[in-house]
Amino acid sequence: MLARNTDRLKILAFTLGSAALASCLLLLASAPDFAAALGQFFIAPIANSYYFGNLLAGMGPLIMAGLGVAVAFASRNFNLGGEGQVYSGGLAAALIPLAFGGSSPWVAVLAFAGAALTGGLLGASSGFLKRRLGIDELISSFLVSAVAVLSVDYLIAGPFRDGTSNFQATTPIASGLAFAKLFPPSSLNGGIFIALAAAGLGKFLFDKTRFGFELKLCGANREFAAYSGIDSGFYTTAPMALSGALHGLAGALLVFGSYGAAMKGFSAGTGWNAIAVALLARNDPAALIPAAFFYSYLQAGAQSVQMGSNISSEIMAVIQAVILLFVTAGALPFRMRGKGTRR
Amino acid sequence: MSGQGTAVVLAANAVSAMTPLLLAALGGLFSELSGTLNIALEGLMLTGAFFGAAAASATGSIFLGMAGGSLAAAILAWAYGSATLRLKANPFITGIAANIFASGSAVLLSRRLFGTGSVVTFALKAVSKPLEPALGGIPILGAVLFGQTWIVHASWLAAILSWVLIARTPFGARLRATGANAEAVSAAGFSPDRYRLAAIVISGILAGAAGASLSLPLAAYVPNMSSGRGWIALVAVYLGFRKPWGIALACFIFALAEAYSNYAQGFLGLPPEFILAIPFAASLLALVVGTVAGKVGAGRAGKSVG
């Protein structure tokens, strides 16, 4: 066990090192002034208060959606529909306050519940199809999400568009409802506390409850879990639904925290980034916090270097690919069809 | 336009729209048979579309464009496939990595080579239609089957060759055995990993050609122009019973839906977002109906890679 943990640390160090190295190589290849770009990428996010605020603000949705990914992965279900769940959950969170009006905290609670329900239904649909028909949730969740993204695109640009704005966005929610900015002009807001609390709750759920125990058991060995009398079908539908709900909440955090409305494309890859974060954290809810910090640090670095030296934001995509390529090396996040889990 | 004329135009458009799907799905088939669902098809297609455009704009040759697209995607497939196998990494996660790398690197390279991260157009002659002069005059079939470009005909040839390779050669038998029972392949003295890697590289060659078959007839590269076809191709592998002829049929049905929704957009007045969503919704629906009706078997097949 000990040896295995050191192996995992080695793989993690290797992954993070490769990501940093890839960043350097990309800057070397594309930046006119390598030293300055290096400073902007690695130093500015922690030295410049504006970028540091954005770094912390970026962590909230990543932790929340990352928890959603972890719930699915820990039970050996692949939710590839996170992007559509974040996007449609965020739209629900933006529309509910408009329907009710006012800025009572209950409206905010209702908006978050609506976001969770919307994302949860999308996730549950794939869980249901897998449980009842054996349809691969990896493909169905992607297809459902693709339809959801395009439908939300339509709703934001069409029926729910704020006619007074030049942006393709819904009417902003009441300013009293949106989370207070903690550190203007950066976008750091109170939503980070909700995400941290969710990570804490997730840790409790995973390690201290029967649900968490059975969920992880199903992830480790579904056949054994079934022999032990666990309803393993339940641990297909429930984790997919919970995963979708948490992604929906991440969308609500983006709307209430950063944007104040649902803008076209606001989810901006959060669902995919969350996969990288959850894998870096090895599906451990507490480890999501440092993993989200690291990931957000790279994002803030990419944002800062882009402002400073005319380099396209696509370097973040390449760095993300490097992380995903190495992060599951050797030890899989769950032993998919490994030796003990033959079907 | 007469009813029959409309039907012929729709069928001809479907046959042409089917080509990228068919090539990508054949690629997915090789990987599926070796035991891994290849979710990198989307990224491999995009790489093929971009490098196909780059090679064709540099050389002026459509053939070299196709070859360039295939080669680039094969290299990406080899890199991600061998990394996955050597590191014993999770193939779905590395597949996502390949997809993200493909779209990011295409924009980076597009800025370098073409000076823009957006739509790239270039001068290229129209793709020739070799059978049209001789056979295009046949009623209905002439327009539908023979009024097509050589790339379309080449995709049919690829389907036949894939069938031969899979069903009629020792390589194909060992490839299928790798997916069905890797231990038996090892016991017989062959390396399952070599067959897995070969399958991924073949996936890359075919998906790369699929991508180039999108960009070359347009003489343009549009960011993310594969627009989810790699995923729909994966569904076609399931719906086609993991056989080339079945896959061709599934791809034709999807392409017909695509052609019809493009045609219907005019008079139904649907918003463009819904038109774009139709292929995804249709393939989801087909997956559900196919599973309920025919037990298509849309679960992940085969044995471990890790």
pLDDT of the residue at B196: 95
Residue B247, amino acid: I
Q: Please name the member of B103, B228, B284 whose beta carbon is closest to the beta carbon of A144.
A: B284
Token pair 């969170």: residue: A93
Min Cα distance A24 → chain B (Å) is 15
Which residues does chain A have within 8 Å of residue B107's beta carbon, measured at their own beta carbons? 312, 314, 317
Nearest residue to B178 via CA among B25, B36, B27, B26: B36
Instruction: State whether B89 and A317 contact (CB < 8 Å).
Output: no
Amino acid at A140: S
Backbone angles phi, psi at B232, to 5 degrees: -65, -35
What is chain B's pLDDT, residue by residue, as a tens digit (306 residues)?
467 788 888 999 999 999 999 999 999 999 999 998 899 999 999 999 999 999 999 999 999 999 999 999 999 999 999 989 988 888 889 999 999 999 989 988 898 888 888 899 998 888 888 888 888 888 888 888 888 999 999 999 999 999 999 999 999 999 999 999 888 888 888 999 999 999 999 999 999 999 999 999 999 999 989 989 999 999 999 899 889 999 999 999 999 988 888 888 778 778 888 888 888 999 999 999 888 887 655 555 433 332
Verify whether the Cβ–Cβ distance B93 to A324 is below 8 Å.
Answer: yes
A316 and B80 within 8 Å at the Cβ level: the answer is: no
B304 touches chain A (CB under 8 A): yes
**A238-255 pLDDT, tens digit each:** 999 999 999 999 999 999
Cα distance between residue B104 and residue B76, in whole Å: 13
- Nearest Cα residue in chain B from A275: B93
Stronger pLDDT, B87 or A308, i.e. the higher one: B87
Per residue in A84-131, pLDDT (tens digit) is 999 999 999 999 999 988 788 899 999 999 999 999 999 999 999 999
* CA dist., res. B98 & res. B203, Å (int): 13
Domain containing B100 equals 3-294
The answer to whether residue B193 is domain-embedded is yes
The string over B205-226, giving b where at least 16 C-beta atoms fall within 10 Å of a residue's C-beta and e elsewhere, is: bbbbbbbbbbbbbebbbbbebb
Res. A41: pLDDT tops 80: yes
Give B-chain residues touching A317 at CB under 8 angstroms: 100-101, 103-105, 107
Average pLDDT, chain A: 87
Residue A224: the pLDDT is 87
CA distance B235 to B247: 9
B184 shares contact with chain A (CB less than 8 Å): no
Neighboring chain A residues of B300 at a CB cutoff of 8 Å: 136, 138, 337
CA distances from A300 to A20, A73, A303 (A): 14, 27, 5
Contact in structure between A78 and A137 (CB atoms under 8 Å): yes
Q: How far is CA A255 from the centre of its chain?
A: 14
Q: Which residues of B touch A129 (CB under 8 A)?
A: 288
Residue B224 domain-assigned (yes or no):
yes
- Split at pLDDT 50, 70, 90, the class of A73 is very high
| Nearest to B288, CA basis, from A238, A147, A132 | A132
| Alpha-carbon gap: B110 to the closest alpha carbon of chain A (Å) | 11
Work out how many domains chain B is built from and give that number.
Answer: 1
DSSP-assigned letters across all residues of B44-69 = HHHHHHHHHHHHHHHH--HHHHHHHH
Q: Which residue of B has its CA nearest to A276?
A: B93
Contact A258, A28 (CB under 8 A): no
* Tokens, residue A177: 């409802």
Collect all residues of chain B within an 8 Å Cβ-Cβ radius of residue A320.
Answer: 97, 100, 104
Q: In this predicted model, what pLDDT tens digit does every residue of A190-237 receive, in sequence order?
A: 899 999 999 999 999 999 999 999 999 898 888 888 888 888 889 999
The pLDDT score that the predictor gives to residue A166 is 81
Q: To probe the interface with B, which of A152, A312, A319, A325 has the most B CB atoms within 10 Å? A: A325
Look up residue A269 and give its two tokens: 């890859």
Q: What's the CA gap between A310 and A308, in Å, rounded?
A: 6
In which band, very low, low, confident or very high, does the pLDDT at A40 lie, cut at 50, 70 and 90?
Answer: confident
CATH fold, domain A2-341, is ABC transporter involved in vitamin B12 uptake, BtuC (1.10.3470)
Q: Domain segments of chain A: what residues?
A: 2-341
State the best of B36, B84, B90, B113 to mutate against chain A, taking most chain A CBs within 10 Å: B90
CATH code of the domain in which B26 resides: 1.10.3470
The full DSSP string for A204-245 is: HHHHHSHHHHHHHHHHH-HHHHHHTT--TTHHHHHHHHHHHH
Comparing A340 with A264, which gets the higher pLDDT?
A264
Q: Which residues of A touch B231 (CB under 8 A)?
A: 139, 142-143, 146
Asked whether the beta carbons of A72 and A97 are under 8 A apart, the reply is: no
Nearest to B250 by CA among B222, B212, B287, B208: B287
Of all residues in chain B, the one with the smallest CA distance to A26 is B108
CA–CA distance from B89 to each of A317, B73, B197, B306 (Å)? 20, 20, 14, 7
Q: Does A339 score more than 60 pLDDT?
A: no
Contacts of A333 in chain B (CB under 8 A): 90, 93
- Asked whether the beta carbons of residue A317 and residue B88 sit closer than 8 angstroms, the reply is no
pLDDT value of residue A309 = 61
> Which residues on chain B are in Cβ contact (under 8 Å) with A312?
107-108, 111, 117
What global pTM score does this model have? 0.89
The sign of the torsion formed by the CA atoms of A208, A214, A219, A224 equals positive
